[in-house]
Amino acid sequence: MANFWNIFIIITGFIIILVASNQIAGLFQKIKLPLVTGLLVMGIFSGPYILNLIPDNAIPKLQFINNIALAFIAFAAGAELYIKELRSSFNSIKWMTIGQLAVTFILSSLVVFLLTDLIPFINEMNTYGRVAVSILIGTIFVARSPATAIAIINELRAKGPFTRTFLGVTVLIDFLVIFLFALTFSMANVLLTESGFNIQYFIILVAEFLVSFGIAYLLGKILELTLSLRINTTPKAIMILFTGYCVYLLSHLFRFFAEKYFHLNFYIEPLLICIIASFIVTNYTKFRREFLKIIHDLIPLVYIAFFTLIGASISLEVVATAWFVSLILFLIRLITMWFGAYFGGALAGESFRNCTIGWMPYVTQAGISLGLVTVVAAEFSGWGTEFATIMITVIVLNQLIGPPLLKWSIGLAGEDHSMAHKNKLEGITRAIIFGYEDQSVALARQLSEHDWKVKIATSRTGIEDTQIPGVEIIYSPEISLEELKKLDAKNTKTIVTLRTDEENLKICELVYQNYGIHDLVVRLNHRYNFSNFHELGAIIVEPSTAMVSLLDHFVRSPMATSLLLGMEENQDTVDIVLRNRDLHGIAIRHLHLPSDILILSTQRRGHMIISTGYTRLRLGDILTIVGSVESIEQVRLRFE
């Protein structure tokens, strides 16, 4: 009973530490450092070497939290690999993945083996032991961080072939590195026990992979069954966490019975099982979006627990004595990655520039890398702590250096669109409003809040500046083609006319005849002029009936109306043009969308299509979507 009470106290104290760790680690983001780094630092301060809030004897008792987190991180990595969206860049992704996976692994393992005399805990090992540790380090060097890559892509609004390739490679490598780790981990066990490679070893190795694949398939079916239950998302999330933990329990049971009854070292890799099961759910079931939503909602909490606990496990004594070794390993990884990227880029036919900067996006490491480190540390207790501390130091260096290099490489590739977005240089978010009055000022203010650059054209003089950011009041004394050129109507997405019907019609005719059909929005003053504007393809607003229609919708469907009008907090409705060739021909139900995004309709060649899950997208489609502002920006980045 006393033992259970001690565990309860340890878990309660750890939860309190996690709350504080999350709050304080957030300060690191304000100084442009990754949140992961902040969590690791908080774990170090909470650990036995500084504040001792997490004592040394408490860390083994919290190992089950580590296992739950590792399984869920593997679920998250598998969910990122959605094969339908990688097809157009498959050739570049294939060769770059081979370069990064094979060349980086082989070169780094070889160089580490040659330098083992410099690494304290390896230099006393025999040749077999040195080979074992070298290939484990080489495997961890291969792992990447898709989460960091996606965050930076969103921040820079990066788009283009370079971005598509490195994101695809990053996701694919995080998937394949688990397979590589399962292989090298089994080899390391054999080398360290000096049992040698024989036919029995290879039979066991094949059996391990076959059993892992079989269990992964069953786990995928269990996850599918869990997601199909008609219950709230929270119980499903708890069941998924528990299912992941059960994979670790099953792995221990297999190993225990194999050693006890057959005297065999039979190990099935839980990370491999979880990542394959996640891949199956993401690509071959209808519950992908709900699965992604659960991962999106839970992964921040999982990261807090996982990285804080890892930070507490770091031995500062080893860091103090082996910092030089960590720096050497960090440089070895960078150099071997450069060779791998150049080799892969050359085989894929990439330009010389892309070959030389192709290594920069792959430096960052996080979840999977640290997960592999903890697996090694737990398996080899003798030297595992020193191994983990040195490797975590290398990963932290990669996490600090990686994001700036990734941003730099995107800029060098000419695919950084953050400034274009910030300064509205693309023209697609510009509007001109003809007529100065309360309604035009209110409309301009609302558009400006949604990041539009607005001009109000008026023939009135003596108007004071509205002081609305993004809104410019321009004196336009007449309606003519010259005035439209001065207003830069050619590069404007939407024109709104709030003058008399005669003036509005003249503006619409000039735009229609000289610039093609813009989005023309006309406030109609008299009903008998309706057909004149309708022939020009204008969107006509009739004040006499618009208010009645709006009130009618509010009475009959208030929630839907407020949502479409953007009255719900952090919600909006926008039109997005599909320009990403990777998405051409994909059915809407196969899109990798945020869980809170809903596609309402699709406009194709001027015809409106009521969208269903089976609607296949075409380049140039205009999609009307509703969702949170953050999610809409992610969708806009991928679609446009």
Neighbours of 293 (CB within 10 A): 16
Residue 158 CB partners (closer than 8 Å, separation 6+): 152, 410, 415, 416, 417, 637
Q: Tell me whether residue 3 is in a domain.
A: no
pLDDT of residue 427: 42
Q: Quick check: 477 and 459 in contact, CB under 8 A? A: yes
Residues 528 and 606 in one domain: no
Same domain, 312 and 361: yes
Tokens of 457: 């054209």
**The pLDDT of residue 596:** 72
Is-above-0.75 flag for pTM?
Answer: no
Place of tokens 């996080």: 366
- Whether 23 is in a domain gets the answer no
Same-domain check for residues 353 and 479: no
Higher local confidence (pLDDT), 204 or 568: 204
3-class SS at 541? Answer: strand
Helix (H, G, I), strand (E, B) or coil at 121: coil
Residue-level pLDDT at 467: 64
Predicted confidence band of residue 559 (pLDDT cuts 50, 70, 90): low
| Residue 165, token pair as written in the block | 């390739």
Q: Is 288 helix (H, G, I), strand (E, B) or coil?
A: helix
The two three-digit tokens of residue 616, written as one number: 């296949």
Last residue of one domain, picked from the residues 415, 435, 452: 415
pLDDT of residue 136: 92
Q: Are residues 204 and 276 in the same domain?
A: yes
Q: What pLDDT score was predicted for residue 235? A: 92
- My answer on whether 306 and 410 are in the same domain is yes
Same domain, yes or no: 346 and 228? yes
**25 in a structural domain:** no
Q: How far apart are CA 319 and CA 322, in angstroms?
A: 5
- Confidence check: pLDDT of 317 > 70: yes
**How many domains would you assign to the chain?**
3
CATH number at residue 540: 3.40.50.720
* pLDDT reading at 511 higher than 50: yes
Ordered DSSP codes for 90-158: HHHHHHHHHIIIIIHHHHHHHHHHHTGGGSTTTTTS-HHHHHHHHHHHHHHHH---HHHHHHHHHHHT-
List the domain range (segments joined by +) for residue 605: 559-639
Average pLDDT, the chain: 80
B/e letters for 556-572, b = 16+ CB within 10 Å, e = fewer, are eeeeebebbebeeeebb
> 127-131, 236-240, 571-575, 613-617 — which one is most confidently predicted on average?
236-240
Answer yes or no: do 350 and 429 share one domain. no
Per-residue pLDDT tens for 240-272?
A: 999 999 999 998 898 888 888 877 778 788 888
Shared-domain flag, residues 78 and 214: yes
CATH number where 233 lies: 1.20.1530
pLDDT in tens, 473-510: 888 888 888 888 888 887 788 889 888 888 888 888 88
Q: 601 has which bridge partners?
A: 610, 624
Pair (544, 564) in one structural domain = no
Domain boundary among 548, 571, 596: 548
Q: Sign of dihedral through CA atoms 163, 164, 166, 170?
A: positive
What residue has token string 């003249």? 506
Which tokens in the block code for residue 564?
């479409």
Question: How large is the average pLDDT for residues 573-586?
Answer: 78
Q: How confident is the model at residue 586 (pLDDT cuts 50, 70, 90)?
A: confident
**Res. 423: pLDDT tops 50:** no
| Any domain includes 20 | no
β-partners of residue 539 are: 521
Residues linked to residue 625 through DSSP beta bridges, in sequence order: 574, 599
Residue 223 covered by a domain = yes
For residues 155 and 254, membership in a common domain is answered with yes
Q: Please check whether residue 404 is in contact with residue 415, taking contact to mean a CB–CB distance below 8 angstroms.
A: no
How many of the other CB atoms lie within 10 Å of CB of 350? 21
Least confident of 265-274, 275-284, 548-557: 548-557
Q: Is residue 351 part of a domain?
A: yes
> Does 26 fall in a domain?
no
Q: What is the pLDDT of residue 424?
A: 40
Q: Are residues 403 and 436 in the same domain?
A: no
Residue 77 CA, distance from chain mean position: 10
The domain boundary residue, chosen from 522, 548, 574 = 548
Would you state the pLDDT for residue 249?
A: 92
The predicted structure's pLDDT at residue 594: 75
* Residue 608 dihedral angles phi and psi, to the nearest 5°: -85, 135
Nearest to 278 by CA among 378, 368, 364: 368
Task: Identify whether residues 406 and 439 lie together within a single domain.
Answer: no
Task: Provide the terminal-to-terminal Cα distance of the chain, rounded to the nearest Å.
Answer: 60
In a domain, 125, yes or no: yes
The CATH number for 583's domain is 3.30.70.1450
Q: What is the pLDDT of residues 104-130, one digit of tens each?
A: 899 999 999 988 888 877 888 888 888
